[in-house]
A and B are shown apart, each in its own frame.
Chain A
Amino acid sequence: MTGRDAIGARVWRESDATTHIDVRGLPPPQPLIQILQLVQRMGDGAVVIVHHDRDPVWLYPELAQIGWWADVVDGDPGEVRLRLARSTP
């Protein structure tokens, strides 16, 4: 599954059942909006991989507020890659 919505974020699903969103190049606050919109559509146990070109500092309080958590994982050079999942209670 792959697609690009009107504002330009690319969203696709990998064979390991993770959903990816690439928000590189989008002007602020579009990355924040696109990521939160996607996350809110995801069910329990979902994992979202974010491909970003900078550290999205405003995202983390928003994620915490809705019970999600972020890990930084290895990405390409110049990329900030995050792995988002629901917080364990």
Chain B
Amino acid sequence: MMAVAQERPPPTRRVGGQFLAGAGGRLLPASVPLRWFAAAAVFHALAWLALAAGASQWPGWRGGPGWPLAALHLVTVGTLVSSAIGASLQLLPVATRQPVRGPRLAALLWWLYVPGAALLALGMGLAQPAWMVAGAALVLPVLGIWGLLLALNLRGARGMPGVVLHGWGAAASLLVLMGSAAALVALWNGTPLLPRDDARALHAAAGVIGVMGLLVLGLSSILLPLFALAPVPDEGAQLRSGATVCVALLLMALAAFAPAGSDAAQVLRWTALLAAAWALATHVRAMRRSWAEGLRSDLGRSGRLFRIGWGGAALAISFTAIGLVRGHDGADLPWGPLAVLAALGGWLLSILFGVLQRILPFLASLHAARRAGRRPPTPSALTAEGPLRVHEAAHLAALVLLAAALVNRSPAWLLAAAALGFVGALAFVGFVGVLALRLHRAARRSATDA
């Protein structure tokens, strides 16, 4: 060590990330992305509470306002989209080698979006159309601005054509999602702009597969190699997979407007489903190949959640296919709700939590390193392992129990699933809280040392 110190030429700047000043244009203040991720964790806990509040409504629920709808939107609008906004605002500029645009705007959006999402969910739960309008009036403009920031970033992107294609698909889907959301809120307020079933079908496809699905697929191509220190997945495979998902989305949109039960609608749905299955297989094959070549092949809990997520996506496609074959037979298993559970809980949430538990300590360490003069806390020193262990076990158990509750149409099982899920969600909130506390302490120590 002494030898190193003697050899050391006088550095121009002593840094542990102060050199991040050079990357300052690509980094938001730590509080901005961390606030979005913290909101996502809290909304996740609230989603399980809403699920419990609507336990008696679930067996007969066929859409429309109520706690089941609130629970769904706390997961989608609250957890998934909040995380997507935080991740895309911070990670895309770094990946596409561009400055972040409007850091103050990114901070302001949080203050509009989070209360708006909460109000929207509360309005849904309590079946208060006026509250839904007020919530949507906050959420939709934020989504529009986020879409614009996303588009500006993608327009100036250098390289990463696969990620960029997924991003454009998500941005286009966001427009459809916002339009169909506005149509649904208008419908519940007595002004039908689109037929209910058409608007719902568009909304579900654009939200789950279009916005969230494409972002998860695209960002995975950046994040998994980063975690595993692996080469970028094959660009050709990324492009083929992303383009096929976009085609599947287009077919789903056409199917939404085809006459219900018609042969045309069935053909469109089957073609879309097969395209989605092929796209998923292509994506997973490329990701696994890249992962296998990484310096760090064992990603532990995070890696398991990625694999579970891919399994969830495959199950969602399978359940949808079975539902298409069996039709709407009330005596049959609820294939539609099971597909939604597999897609939202199994696929999107599993991968999201796999990502968040790695990226949060990483981002925190990176920002802590901006304070010069001392060694920054390492990502592992910022990670509370205990809460993550609890979260993983509770997340998986809750999903299995929830599937059983849907199959048995049992409010009691559903309550048990909600209780387990809530415990897991609280554990994840605890992980975020401990990380924030450790980051704060590191900042105070740096200030004292300085």
> Cβ of B378 and Cβ of A64 under 8 Å apart?
yes
A27-68 interface (Cβ within 8 A of B): 27-30, 32-33, 36-37, 40, 44-45, 47, 54-55, 57-58, 60-62, 64-65
Give Cα distance in the complex from A7 to B8, angstroms: 30
Query: Which stretch of B134-142, B223-231, B280-288, B299-307 is in the interface?
Result: B223-231
The 0/1 profile, CB within 8 Å of A marked 1, for residues 10-24 of chain B is 011111110110110
Assuming the A-B contacts A28-B95, A36-B295, A65-B380, are A72 and B4 also in contact, with contact meaning beta carbons closer than 8 angstroms in the complex? no
Closest partner residue, chain B, to A65 (CB atom): B378
Closest partner residue, chain A, to B226 (CB atom): A29
> Cβ of A83 and Cβ of B8 under 8 Å apart?
yes
Does A2 count as interface, using CB distance less than 8 angstroms? no
The 0/1 profile, CB within 8 Å of B marked 1, for residues 58-89 of chain A is 10111011000111111000001011011111
List, in ascending order, chain A residues with CB within 8 A of B20's CB. Answer: 55, 57, 60
> Cβ of B11 and Cβ of A27 under 8 Å apart?
no
List, in ascending order, chain A residues with CB within 8 A of B9's CB. Answer: 73, 83
Does B159 count as interface, using CB distance less than 8 angstroms? yes
Give chain B's interface residue range (CB within 8 Å of chain A).
35 or more
Give chain A's interface residue range (CB within 8 Å of chain B).
35 or more
Query: Which stretch of B32-40, B62-70, B237-245, B361-369 is in the interface?
Result: B361-369
> Cβ of B5 and Cβ of A88 under 8 Å apart?
yes
Does B1 count as interface, using CB distance less than 8 angstroms? yes
Give Cα distance in the complex from A36 to B229, angstroms: 9
Closest partner residue, chain A, to B380 (CB atom): A65
> Closest CB of chain B to A67's CB: distance in Å?
9
Which residue in A57, A70, A74, A88 is a CB contact (below 8 Å) of B366? A57
Assuming the A-B contacts A29-B226, A45-B3, are A61 and B362 also in contact, with contact meaning beta carbons closer than 8 angstroms in the complex? yes
Which residue in A61, A62, A71 is a CB contact (below 8 Å) of B11? A71
Assuming the A-B contacts A57-B27, A57-B94, A69-B375, are A85 and B8 also in contact, with contact meaning beta carbons closer than 8 angstroms in the complex? yes
List, in ascending order, chain A residues with CB within 8 A of B375's CB. Answer: 64, 69, 87
Closest partner residue, chain A, to B293 (CB atom): A33
> Closest CB of chain B to A41's CB: distance in Å?
12
Does A1 count as interface, using CB distance less than 8 angstroms? no
Which residue in A16, A36, A47 is a CB contact (below 8 Å) of B4? A47
Does B44 count as interface, using CB distance less than 8 angstroms? no
Assuming the A-B contacts A45-B3, A65-B378, A86-B1, are A60 and B366 also in contact, with contact meaning beta carbons closer than 8 angstroms in the complex? yes
List, in ascending order, chain B residues with CB within 8 A of A64's CB. Answer: 16, 365, 369, 375-379
> Cβ of B230 and Cβ of A33 under 8 Å apart?
yes
Number of A-B contacts (CB under 8 A): 117
Does B332 count as interface, using CB distance less than 8 angstroms? no
Give Cα distance in the complex from A14 to B160, angstroms: 34
Assuming the A-B contacts A60-B17, A65-B379, A70-B16, are A47 and B7 also in contact, with contact meaning beta carbons closer than 8 angstroms in the complex? yes
Assuming the A-B contacts A27-B232, A60-B17, A86-B1, are A80 and B22 also in contact, with contact meaning beta carbons closer than 8 angstroms in the complex? yes
Does B200 count as interface, using CB distance less than 8 angstroms? no
> Closest CB of chain B to A86's CB: distance in Å?
7
> Closest CB of chain A to B218's CB: distance in Å?
14
Of residues A55, A58, A82, A87, which shows the largest number of chain B Cβ atoms within 10 Å of its Cβ?
A55
> Cβ of A45 and Cβ of B4 under 8 Å apart?
yes
List, in ascending order, chain B residues with CB within 8 A of A88's CB. Answer: 1, 4-5
> Cβ of B19 and Cβ of A70 under 8 Å apart?
yes
> Cβ of B366 and Cβ of A73 under 8 Å apart?
no
> Cβ of B22 and Cβ of A61 under 8 Å apart?
no
Residues on A close to B: CB < 8 A? 7, 16-18, 27-30, 32-33, 36-37, 40, 44-45, 47, 54-55, 57-58, 60-62, 64-65, 69-74, 80, 82-83, 85-89
Residues on B close to A: CB < 8 A? 1, 3-5, 7-9, 11-17, 19-20, 22-23, 26-27, 94-95, 97, 159-160, 225-226, 229-232, 295, 361-362, 365-366, 369, 375-380
Having A36-B295, A72-B15, one finds 8 other A-B pairs with CB under 8 Å, namely A17-B7, A30-B231, A54-B97, A69-B16, A73-B9, A80-B22, A86-B1, A87-B375
Closest 5 CB pairs of A and B: A55-B23, A71-B11, A61-B365, A55-B22, A72-B19
